[in-house]
C-alpha cells in the first residue's frame, strides 16, 4: 500500500474512533486557549485545567493580565512547572496582544509567532482550536512518535515532520489530524507499550521502531528548504503537554501557505468543551 493510501485509511479509522473531537484543554476563547497551551508545556492537561479557572477569574483577559506582576502570576501558575519562564512569556504576550492587537488574539501564523512563548505548534493549536483555521499540523511528542511508526516520516525534526504530514493529509483535516493523533498516542499507541493487538490500525501500520528504544530507529533528515529560521515546536501541548516552553518570536519555518486540497470543513471541536485540547492536542 502506498503511503498516501495508508494515510487516507488512517484518517478514516481515526475519525471512526474519535467522532466527537472532545477538547483536552478547557478554554472559552482564543486568549484562554493560548494561555492554557503555553502552560501545558511540560505539564499535564489535568493540572492546567486545575490552574486556569483561578487564573482567568483573577485576570479575565490580556488587558488584565498585562497589569499583573511577575511574582503574582508565578504564584498562580507555580504548579505547572517552568513557571518563571511561562510567567515571563504570558505577561509579554498579554502586553503585545493588548498594545499591538487591540486585545484580540491574532488570526495569522505570522502574527501569532511574534508573541512571546508562541511558536508554530502553539500557533497551530490556537488557529484551529479557536478560529477553525487549518494553517498546519501541530507536532507534539505523540504526533512525532506515531508519524514515524506509521511510516509517514523519517525525520525527528518537528518542522520536517509537519511538512511530511501536510503533504499526506488534506488541508481541511490538519487540525483534526493533530487532535486525534494526540488522543491515539495517549490511549493506544503508547511510547513504551503500544497496544498493537487491540489497534485497528494494525492493518496499515508498518510499526516502524516498535520494540526499540524510543527514537533509536529514527533518522535525522534536514528540511527540504534548508534551515528553518525559528525554534521547532517539540511536543504541546495540543496540544501537547511534553514540550519545553516555546521561545519568543519564533519564525514559522514555512514559506507561502498551501492551497487547500479539499473544500474547507467546519471544525468539529469547540473551544470550551469539557475534557482536553490537543495536550499541547
Task: Tell me phi and psi for residue 276, to 5 degrees.
Answer: -130, 170
Torsion angle of C-alpha atoms 257, 149, 240, 186, degrees rounded to 10: 140
121 catalytic residue (yes or no): yes
Q: Residue 190, by phi and psi: left (phi above 0), alpha (psi -120 to 50) or beta?
A: beta
Task: Tell me phi and psi for residue 186, to 5 degrees.
Answer: -75, -35
Q: If residue 124 lies in a helix (H) or strand (E), which one and from where to where?
A: helix 120-131
Q: Residue 17, by phi and psi: left (phi above 0), alpha (psi -120 to 50) or beta?
A: alpha
The dihedral built from the CA positions of residue 163, 168, 171 and 174, taken in this order, carries a sign that is: negative
Point out which residues pair with 276 in neighbouring strands: 24
199 is in an annotated binding site: yes
> 90: which 3 cell numbers?
504570558
Report the C-alpha gap between 249 and 95 in whole angstroms: 14
Which of 30, 51, 26, 37 is CA-nearest to residue 103? 30
Cβ 121 vs Cβ 280: under 8 Å: yes
43 is in an annotated binding site: no
* Candidate list 140, 157, 164, 176, residue with the active-site label: 140
Cβ 24 vs Cβ 276: under 8 Å: yes
Report the C-alpha gap between 102 and 117 in whole angstroms: 19
* Candidate list 45, 86, 121, 280, residue with the active-site label: 121
Binding-site positions for [4Fe-4S] cluster? 189, 196, 199, 205
Binding-site positions? 189, 196, 199, 205
Q: Catalytic site residues?
A: 121, 140
Amino acid at each position: 500500500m502506498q503511503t498516501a493510501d495508508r494515510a487516507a485509511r488512517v484518517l478514516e479509522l481515526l475519525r471512526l474512533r474519535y467522532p466527537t473531537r472532545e477538547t483536552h484543554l478547557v478554554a472559552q476563547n482564543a486568549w484562554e486557549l493560548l494561555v492554557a497551551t503555553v502552560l501545558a508545556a511540560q505539564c499535564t492537561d489535568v493540572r492546567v485545567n486545575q490552574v486556569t479557572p483561578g487564573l482567568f477569574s483573577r485576570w479575565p483577559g490580556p488587558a488584565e493580565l498585562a497589569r499583573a506582576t511577575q511574582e503574582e502570576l508565578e504564584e498562580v501558575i507555580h504548579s505547572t512547572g517552568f513557571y518563571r519562564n511561562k510567567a515571563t512569556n504570558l505577561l509579554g504576550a498579554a502586553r503585545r496582544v493588548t498594545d499591538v492587537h487591540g486585545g484580540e488574539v491574532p488570526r495569522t501564523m505570522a502574527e501569532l509567532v511574534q508573541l512571546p512563548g508562541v511558536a508554530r505548534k502553539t500557533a497551530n493549536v490556537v488557529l484551529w482550536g479557536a478560529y477553525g483555521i487549518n494553517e498546519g499540523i501541530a507536532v507534539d511528542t505523540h504526533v512525532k512518535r506515531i508519524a514515524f511508526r506509521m511510516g509517514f516520516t523519517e525525520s525527528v525534526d518537528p518542522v520536517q515532520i509537519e511538512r511530511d504530514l501536510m503533504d499526506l493529509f488534506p488541508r481541511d483535516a490538519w487540525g483534526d489530524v493533530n487532535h486525534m493523533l494526540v488522543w491515539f498516542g495517549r490511549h493506544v499507541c503508547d511510547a513504551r507499550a503500544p497496544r498493537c493487538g487491540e489497534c485497528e490500525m494494525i492493518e496499515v501500520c508498518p510499526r516502524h521502531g516498535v520494540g526499540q528504544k524510543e527514537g533509536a530507529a529514527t533518522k535525522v533528515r534536514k528540511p527540504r528548504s534548508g534551515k528553518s529560521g525559528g525554534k521547532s515546536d517539540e511536543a504541546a501541548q495540543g496540544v501537547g503537554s511534553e514540550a519545553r516552553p516555546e521561545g519568543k518570536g519564533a519564525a514559522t519555518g514555512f514559506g507561502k501557505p498551501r492551497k487547500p486540497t479539499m473544500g474547507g470543513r467546519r471544525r468539529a471541536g469547540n473551544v470550551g468543551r469539557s475534557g482536553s485540547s490537543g495536550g499541547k492536542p
